[in-house]
Structure 1
Amino acid sequence: MDSVITIPALGDNLIYLYRYNQGDCLAIDPGECRSVSNILKEQNLSLKMILVTHHHWDHTGGVAELKKTTGCKVVGGDKRRIRDVDQVFEDGETIPVGGADVRVIATPGHTSTSVCYNLVPSAASASGILWTGDTLFVGGCGRLFEGNARTMFESLRRLASLPDDTLVYCGHDYTVENYEFALSIETDNQSVRQRLKDISESGQTVPSTMLQERTTNVFLRAGAPEVKAALGMEQAKDFEVFAELRRRKDSF
């Protein structure tokens, strides 16, 4: 039985282990080593591969030690800035994982070489899974450190085109703040209010689904007439609305 294990770390980071073939697993963005090593030991898992979405330290801090202690392979989108990467996969290429494939999606914006990883639906996983790093958050998106608004918005639109039931696992838990920001723009968005209520009752923020993101993530809704009207940007292009949303969120 395949499953995703969520490991909170470093305050608000989220590290993931994807378990497959019963005792094997891969790790996504291990920002530190100890918590991952503890889970591997507790659940008797063998780490076969690490997937890195981008080079920032809080997503790579545990890579070297985990590679040293387990002998696992490291995959990423940037071999120059992620020192321990063994292989770079390009946009659209697939990584075999057990009986399934993980598709690499280039998503420049947060950094110029950011990538996301999409586990394609299979017999092992009926719903697709998307690990988004700092590109797409539940209810939000990453800051623009190495890209412009147009580039980031196009990356987000690529992700938003995935099937409704795709499970979304992001790199940080900023969920409540993201939804509070969304309500400062769309004060009457009942879908956002319901999501906040559900999260308050369950205490669970991940995974989201792509349908939930398209409905409640204000950054994915930059083209919606309601959002444009709320900003007084009815005639603006979608990416221009996105840029204004990102500017406001940066100081929210």
Structure 2
Amino acid sequence: MIQIDALPAFTDNYIWLLQDNATQRCAVVDPGDAAPVLAWLQGHPGWQLSDILITHHHHDHVGGVEQLKAHTGARVCGPANERIPGRDLALGNDDRVQVLGLDLQVIAVPGHTLGHIAYYGGALPTPVLFCGDTLFAAGCGRLFEGTPQQMHDSLERLAALPAATLIYCTHEYTLSNLRFAKAVEPQNPHIAQRFEEVTQLRAQDRITLPSNLALEKLTNPFLRTTETSVKEKADERTGRQNPTPSAVFAGLRAWKDTF
């Protein structure tokens, strides 16, 4: 069994730590800072960092890569179409990579950045998705490089995964995302309930992740662009008819950018 824990970094990042207790080997996802990982390794003598998985090139996701690689010799896996420091294995859509005995599928998810990838493991008792800054709990990433159409298509690709899939994104944005979700769908009882639960968690400084895909489909407006209530709110905000789900998405994303 692989254990997955979060190592907090910066103000709201999470570095995901995958641990194989049988072999005392571990892997990390998007280590923007080497210090939390090195501190964990120092506190766990005998453990070996074998792999570093990168979803995209932003500094808060790759800033610790070279120091960790120099310290541990870990293999660095990352998107083929982005400049990733220390990368050993360049990955593209539908590639597969073996990490700690897990078979992970690579899914191209352009939008936040053009070469952004996600890692999906479907062979565990519960499927897992490491999606970087593409899909957040109750939200999605900003469009720094891609188009609304690209990001919408990427989210649809992720939404097609099994409903039980656990969503391991890399920022603690859940509460602010739910505030926006409430503005989009003020009558949605699932959003109201989740907002209350997440508010209590954050008041205790507790993590709100991982999420799961079934919950996201009920509460994440960016996965609900075909819902009449969401389209009507997007039309109201943009002052025009948004004829396609991707147009609804574009309207929501522009609104969220200034929310």
Pair in the same fold by TM > 0.5: yes
CA distance in 1: counterparts of 2:233 and 2:82, whole angstroms: 42
Query: Which deviations, in whole Å up to 9, do the C-alpha atoms of 1:63-106 show, x marking residues without a partner?
Result: 00000000000000046511211111221111112332011100
Segments of structure 1 that go 5 or more residues without pairing to the other structure are: none
2:191 aligns to what? 192
SS of residue paired to 1:108: coil
Match for residue 225 of structure 2 among 222, 227, 248: 222
CA distance in 1: counterparts of 2:74 and 2:207, whole angstroms: 30
SS of residue paired to 2:120: strand
CA distance in 2: counterparts of 1:171 and 1:99, whole angstroms: 23
2:171 aligns to what? 172
SS of residue paired to 1:103: strand
Q: Alpha carbons of 1:198 and 1:92: their partners in 2 closer, same or farther (altered >3 Å)?
A: same
TM-score by length of 1: 0.95
Query: Which deviations, in whole Å up to 9, do the C-alpha atoms of 1:181-239 show, x marking residues without a partner?
Result: 01111111111111122223343310000111111111111111110122336662000
1:30 aligns to what? 31
SS of residue paired to 1:236: coil
Cα displacement (A) at 1:14: 1.0
CA distance in 2: counterparts of 1:77 and 1:224, whole angstroms: 33
Match for residue 92 of structure 1 among 91, 94, 105: 94
Q: Is 1:241 paired with 2:240?
A: no
CA distance in 2: counterparts of 1:177 and 1:151, whole angstroms: 24
Report the residue type matching 2:35 in the other structure.
R
1:3 aligns to what? 3
Query: Which deviations, in whole Å up to 9, do the C-alpha atoms of 1:229-250 show, x marking residues without a partner?
Result: 2233666200000000000000
CA distance in 2: counterparts of 1:130 and 1:15, whole angstroms: 14
Q: Alpha carbons of 1:80 and 1:184: their partners in 2 closer, same or farther (altered >3 Å)?
A: closer
Greater CA deviation, 239-248 or 93-102?
93-102
Q: Alpha carbons of 1:191 and 1:119: their partners in 2 closer, same or farther (altered >3 Å)?
A: same
Is 1:25–1:49's contact at 8 Å kept on the other side of the alignment?
Answer: yes
Is 2:62–2:85's contact at 8 Å kept on the other side of the alignment?
Answer: no
Greater CA deviation, 160-169 or 229-238?
229-238
TM-score by length of 2: 0.92
CA distance in 2: counterparts of 1:172 and 1:219, whole angstroms: 17
Is 2:56–2:79's contact at 8 Å kept on the other side of the alignment?
Answer: yes
Cα displacement (A) at 1:2: 1.3
Report the residue type matching 1:204 in the other structure.
I
Q: Is 1:68 paired with 2:67?
A: no
1:211 aligns to what? 214
Q: Number of residue pairs matched?
A: 249
2:157 aligns to what? 158
Report the residue type matching 1:220 in the other structure.
L
Report the residue type matching 2:134 in the other structure.
T
CA distance in 2: counterparts of 1:80 and 1:246, whole angstroms: 24
CA distance in 1: counterparts of 2:242 and 2:138, whole angstroms: 24
CA distance in 2: counterparts of 1:217 and 1:141, whole angstroms: 9
Report the residue type matching 2:84 in the other structure.
I
Report the residue type matching 1:18 in the other structure.
L
Report the residue type matching 2:197 in the other structure.
D
